[in-house]
Amino acid sequence: MCGNSCAVWFGQRSKPPAQSQSRTKNPGATQHKQAHTPRAKRRHVRPPGRGSDPNAREEHRLSRHKSPTRSRARRPIGPLHAHHHGARLSGAAWVAQEARQAHTEGIAEIILFHHAQGLTEGLRKMADRLRASGHVVHTPDMYSGVVFDRLDEGLAFASRIGHDAIEEVARRAARQHPHADTVIGFSLGAFPAQLLAQEWMKIHQVALIAGGCAPAELGGDWRVDVRLALHAADPDDWVPPGSLEPLLHYARGAHVHRYPGLGHMFVDPSSPDYDADAADLFEERLFAWLEDGSRTPHA
């Protein structure tokens, strides 16, 4: 969350809103109209049911996303090698070009930002599934290893460390991983993810889960060449009605998915909001979106 929503995360709201208790087994979703790259039909294998062994479900997810190991050819370090293309690129433009070229080779290099309860075991396993499918994933820890069982405790901690510390973690991660081209942010983590998407030329796609705000609230403009995917429960007390509209006004062609009747952090098994079927649907959409991005040319 960010912008006006930052008031929620950083202490201007006395307590978190009541969580919705309703759940649906097969949540629907709506999607913003856009052109899609045709994809071959895949055989759907029904995952283990809600009452099955959690380890069996995890093994199913890993096997579903696992792909042959891909390797990225190492290119010369620095912008000077751009001479053989007829022009020398600036440092920033060269880094952006390197990130785009890596992604078109089928690999997304991802910086994933956790939600207000910290870098939970559920998010770590999700990062592992992304890696199993061939992507490179970095998980900067804004809480330095601290994880909270309760959302209100995590919010209090986020309020104490403040905006500046979270922004520094985000920018440090971007500097440490110069080939990263994708950012994913969950709830509180949507703030640093969107910040990098607006500030860093090398980032060309961002997925925001249960968060997002007007670009101006982060002190900048939305970059029109950035692909955007939004996922949120419907309704979500932490994503007020209309709060995403200013972002969608600038992010034309965004993928927007709403999940009726679910809790705020339904994608994370570490959260009491977790819904296994909805989480599977979310991951299927996320992986397909990343795959489509590897085939989409970027300027």
| pLDDT value of residue 43 | 44
Is position 36 within any domain? Answer: no
Is position 25 within any domain? Answer: no
Whether 184 and 112 have beta carbons less than 8 Å apart is answered as yes
Is position 170 within any domain? Answer: yes
**pLDDT-derived band at 176, boundaries 50, 70, 90:** very high
| pLDDT at 281 > cutoff 50 | yes
Identify which of 17-26, 196-205, 241-250, 287-296 has the greatest average pLDDT: 196-205
**pLDDT-derived band at 22, boundaries 50, 70, 90:** very low
**pLDDT-derived band at 252, boundaries 50, 70, 90:** confident
Structure tokens at 155: 């919010």
| pLDDT at 74 > cutoff 50 | no
In terms of Cα–Cα distance, which of 277, 187, 260 is closest to 230? 187
| pLDDT value of residue 50 | 54
Stretch 183-189: mean pLDDT: 97
Is position 80 within any domain? Answer: no
Q: What is the tens place of the pLDDT at every residue in 188-243?
A: 999 999 999 999 999 999 999 999 999 999 989 999 999 999 999 999 989 888 88
In the three-class reduction of DSSP (H, G, I as helix; E, B as strand; rest coil), residue 292 is classed as: helix
Is position 77 within any domain? Answer: no
**pLDDT-derived band at 4, boundaries 50, 70, 90:** very low
Is position 214 within any domain? Answer: yes
pLDDT more than 90, % of the chain: 57
User: Which of 57-66, 93-102, 259-268 has the least mean pLDDT?
Assistant: 93-102
In terms of Cα–Cα distance, which of 9, 7, 11 is closest to 187? 9
> Do β-strands 182-186 and 136-138 pair in parallel, antiparallel, or remain unpaired?
unpaired
Q: Exposed, middle or buried: residue 82 (CB in 10 Å: 0-12, 13-18, 19+)?
A: middle
Q: What is the tens place of the pLDDT at every residue in 36-71?
A: 444 444 444 445 555 556 666 666 566 555 554 444
Q: Exposed, middle or buried: residue 120 (CB in 10 Å: 0-12, 13-18, 19+)?
A: buried
Number of domains in the chain: 1
Give the domain CATH number at 261. Answer: 3.40.50.1820
Long-range Cβ contact pairs of 166-174 (< 8 A, separation 24 or more): 166/142, 166/191, 166/192, 167/192, 167/195, 169/140, 169/141, 169/142, 170/113, 170/140, 170/195, 170/196, 171/196, 171/199, 172/140, 173/111, 173/138, 173/140, 174/111, 174/200, 174/202, 174/203
Domain of 120? 3-15+95-293
Separation of alpha carbons 143 and 262, rounded Å:
26
Is position 243 within any domain? Answer: yes
Is position 81 within any domain? Answer: no
In terms of Cα–Cα distance, which of 147, 125, 149, 113 is closest to 272? 149
pLDDT more than 70, % of the chain: 63
